[in-house]
Structures are given as C-alpha cells and as structure tokens.
C-alpha cells in the first residue's frame, strides 16, 4: 500500500475512540465492531494468550478516562522554533494541574512524523495556569503525531493529537527490520529480541558499544535507557517497562498485534542522550 493510502487509513481510524488493545485488532482493524471500545476484561481475554496483562496499547485517542489533550496550536511553520502550548483538560473542563512524577518527570512529550521520522522526546514545563509549554522545531513538512505521556491520580496515561507542518511532505517508507543501528554520533546498538509474537510479553535487550568496546549507560529518566515503541500504520504507543540495569538495557512489552513496530531507544552516556532506532517485526 502506498504511504498516502496508509495515511488515509490512519485518518479514518483516528476518528474512532479506542479503549482497549483488542479494539485495534490488526494494523488498521477493519474487523473491529465497536462493541469492545470500553476495553477492560473483554479486551484482555480476547488476546487469547491466557495471561491478563495490562493493556499495552495507548496513544490512539486525545481523550481517555475523562482527560483530554488540548493543543493550543495544531499547525507549525516548518523549521521555526515555536513555543507549543497545551493542557490536559479534566472532565470539569479545567486544566489538570496535579501530575505525578514518573521516570523523573511529570510530563514526557513525544513528537514523531506519521512515517516514524523526526522523533523527539521533550520535557515541557507546567505554568501556574495549568498550561504546559515547550519549545519545538519541526524541520520537515508533513503530519505529526504528539503524545503526552504522564501519570495522574496514580494512572499512567498517553493522550495523542495531530500537528501539521505545511509544505510538501516527503514521507519515507519504514526502514527494513534490523538488529543493529548506529546513533549517528559514534555508538552502535544491537537489539536482541528473538522471534516476537503478538499477544505475548517479550523482552527487548539492547547492547551499546562504541568502537567495538562495551558502553555502560548512565541512568536516564531513572533507568538504563528509555524506549518508545510505535506500531506502523496507526502509531499506537506501546507501554514498556524497563528491567534492571546490567551490561544490557532491557525492556518488557507486549506487542498487541502482528506487524511492524518502530523502536526508539534513548540512553545516556558521558552526560549526553543518544537515540537508536529499529524496525521490529512481530509475528502472529
């Protein structure tokens, strides 16, 4: 399918509000009937895997649990540093102000173009008025997805919205699956995941080297690394749990469906954050 065709598919899917992993079904989910939109136990048992794991799929809707991500701007000028402002609005229509700290921050803000390019992980500041603000520069035209990842009332939430940059978008196909990537600034990262299957919790192990020598990553956001996983097609945002530190940086996640996912591993070394990206295939 062409990228343009896929994008039309996403737009249609995004008009629906999802509540559960299983509501999404396949990559675009034509088989869903809407009756499972509330998620919960039905969604879990329908995995067929037997184990009731927490719903791993997030970030398909702007609203969930009475909370809504409200962007003050939905279009940005290409290449121009802009102060992006947004709030998390509660069911009373007022901005939420009390956020819990998770992974050392009260708000993690992920920005990525629809084709998976241009990944950014930012930490906005909360104003006294309940409005978050962060400086953002988007160097390329196209449709972007933003994810607000936070914890409120002890519940982790990921709400998402669209942001457009005017101009001719030069979308790229997702790179082919691979088990190694270089960060572009001197580090090589290897991914060991084995054969992944949908609906099963899996371990993703990353090993960092530089010039062939092992690198011991420094704590970043309270762990040996930070991982964002997005599903190809609808950019479902997967929740991942860091495992302990060792000579590898390890995460547990459940891939809800077969298909391809883009993984963004961030780690800290010598005081700087580095990012490696992988395309990961998941089987049935």
Binding site for Cu ion (CB under 5 A): 108
Please give the Cα distance from 110 to 120 (Å, whole number): 6
- Short-list 143, 136, 80, 72, CA closest to 110: 136
Q: Is 279 exposed, middle or buried (0-12, 13-18, 19+ CB in 10 A)?
A: middle
Q: How far is the CB of 121 from Cu ion (least distance, A)?
A: 5
Structure-token match 């930070």, residue found: 226
Q: How far is the CB of 79 from Cu ion (least distance, A)?
A: 24
Instruction: Give the nearer residue to Cu ion in terms of CB position, either 53 or 148.
Output: 148
Q: How far is the CB of 225 from Cu ion (least distance, A)?
A: 12
Check if the beta carbon of residue 250 is closer than 8 Å to that of residue 241: no
Q: How far is the CB of 201 from Cu ion (least distance, A)?
A: 23
Write the DSSP assignment of 148-194 as a string of letters: EEEEETTEEEEEEEEEEE-S-----PPPPP-SEEE-SSS-EEEEE--
Tokens representing 115 are 């084709």
- Short-list 12, 17, 35, 43, CA closest to 256: 43
Please give the Cα distance from 120 to 143 (Å, whole number): 14
Instruction: Give the nearer residue to Cu ion in terms of CB position, either 108 or 231.
Output: 108
Closest-approach residue to Cu ion (CB): 108
Q: How far is the CB of 45 from Cu ion (least distance, A)?
A: 32
Instruction: Give the nearer residue to Cu ion in terms of CB position, either 6 or 108.
Output: 108
Please give the Cα distance from 243 to 81 (Å, whole number): 36
Instruction: Give the nearer residue to Cu ion in terms of CB position, either 14 or 159.
Output: 159
Torsion angle of alpha carbons 60, 65, 71, 74, nearest 10°? 30
Instruction: Give the nearer residue to Cu ion in terms of CB position, either 6 or 145.
Output: 145
Instruction: Give the nearer residue to Cu ion in terms of CB position, either 30 or 219.
Output: 219
């Amino acid at each position: 399918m062409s990228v343009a065709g896929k994008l039309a598919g996403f737009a249609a899917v995004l008009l629906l509000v999802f509540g559960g992993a299983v509501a999404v079904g396949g990559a675009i989910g034509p088989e869903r009937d809407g009756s499972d939109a509330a998620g919960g136990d039905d969604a879990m048992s329908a995995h067929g895997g037997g184990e009731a794991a927490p719903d791993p799929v997030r970030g398909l809707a702007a609203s969930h649990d009475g909370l809504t991500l409200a962007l003050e701007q939905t279009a940005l000028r290409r290449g121009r540093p802009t102060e992006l402002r947004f709030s998390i609005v509660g069911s009373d229509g007022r901005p939420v102000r009390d956020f819990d700290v998770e992974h050392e921050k009260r708000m993690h803000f992920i920005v990525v173009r629809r084709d998976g390019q241009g990944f950014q992980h930012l930490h906005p500041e909360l104003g006294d008025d309940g409005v978050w603000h962060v400086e953002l520069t988007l160097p390329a035209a196209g449709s972007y997805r933003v994810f607000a990842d936070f914890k409120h009332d002890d519940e982790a939430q990921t709400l998402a919205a669209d942001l457009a940059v005017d101009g001719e978008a030069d979308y790229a196909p997702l790179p082919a699956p691979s088990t190694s990537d270089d960060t572009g600034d001197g580090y090589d990262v290897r991914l060991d995941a084995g054969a992944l299957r949908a609906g099963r919790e899996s371990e993703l192990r990353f090993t960092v080297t530089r010039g062939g020598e092992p690198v011991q990553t420094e704590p970043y956001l309270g762990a040996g690394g930070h991982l964002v996983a997005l599903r190809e097609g609808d950019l479902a945002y997967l929740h991942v749990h860091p495992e302990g530190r060792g000579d590898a940086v390890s995460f547990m996640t459940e891939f809800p469906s077969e298909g391809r996912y883009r993984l963004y591993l961030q780690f800290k070394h010598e005081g700087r954050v580095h990012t490696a990206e992988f395309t990961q295939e998941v089987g049935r």
